[in-house]
Amino acid sequence: MDKQAPILITGAGGFVGKNLALTLRQAGYTNLLLFEISDTPETLAGYAGRAAFVFHLAGVNRPKDPGEFYAGNQGSADQVLKALEEAHNPAPVLLTSSVQAELENHYGKSKRAAEQAVFAHGRRVGAPVYVFRMEGVFGKFCRPNYNSVAATFCYNAARGLPLSVRDPAFALPLVYIDDVVACFMDALEGRPLLQDRSAEPICRIHPVHTVTLGRLAELAEGFAAGREALAVPYLAEGSFEKKFYSTFLSYLPAQKAIYPLPMHCDVRGSFTEFLRSPERGQVSVNVAKPGVVKGNHWHHTKNEKFLVVSGRAVIRLRRVDEGEVHEFFVSGDTLQVVDILPGYTHNIENIGREDLVTVMWANEPFDPTRPDTFPLPV
């Protein structure tokens, strides 16, 4: 697809539309035709005559009158398709549908009718069409207290509000907004799609994460509590937890983005824990005044990494059963990491005239019940 080609997005101001438009711009697509329900039919007709690709994202999912399902889902699709046909424009069309299209409720039937309209349009005019049946979508910009339990749980947990969980064991399939947009970009750029060809070629978002309501609430509340405890959750690449943690953070009020760290201060300087993770250990910031020596202890299993980012220091290591002392002279001018080896007593001395600032990583968060720290001069 030519990066200057016009791309029509209906429902562009919605949750999915905002994320899609941002990604398109980042990918270099500069000619976006953004259509909203408040725009006129004349605007839609003009866009339909120019569009080289159509993302039809507009729809209704929680109306007061069930009849609005059909006007907002089937009707809006018919309107877009009619505008394309009147403009004699066989541009590809991507429709966002729902897994509820397989059900017999009003929402599902209206979505299924929109799907059928798009497939029929494709056959009539020879246009490529992509119908995506999506599970519940979560991620940044989703509206809380509306139709997304993930958004509601994140919003409430970020504000210290209670979470309502009627059935903790109820499992729901979810897809992450970045994965949704990536699948849409695949369609736009002609890459292979994950399709179910049992009838019409229904496209699916991948991957799908299945999580219970109880687990969803547990994670949201745990993320909120973790900020107080300086804890970072386990964030394996591609995991639901990583995606949901990013979602949770996006719902924090902006003024809560800043928070204090408890500083342990004395005449020697300070020691401040920055963050901790059960799987990835603890990161701290150590400040030492000129001439101050800190450490003079060793560990059985715990290992650390010292990185001086400001000032000048000498870091000394000595294996506890030997007499040879190894000295490493480091400074913030040239960043170097010194591994603090298990079984080696060690210290760090500020040999400069300014405060020495060292970032320290330990492979495990400090536990006062088993500190694995034993005093011994180097």
Give yes or no: 107 in active site. yes
**Integer Cα distance of 214 and 205 in angstroms:** 24
Residue type, 188: L
Long-range pairs for 228-234: beta carbons < 8 A, 24 or more residues apart: 229/276, 230/261, 230/273, 230/274, 230/275, 230/276, 231/275, 231/276, 231/277, 232/275, 232/276, 232/277, 232/280, 233/277, 234/277, 234/278, 234/279
What backbone phi and psi angles, to 5 degrees, belong to 131? -105, 115
Alpha-carbon torsion 144, 26, 39, 53, what sign?
Answer: negative
260: exposed, middle or buried (Cβ count in 10 Å: 0-12, 13-18, 19+): exposed
Active-site pick, 47, 70, 107, 176? 107
Strand order from edge to edge, sheet including 136-138: 136-138, 171-176, 209-212
Active-site annotation, residues: 107
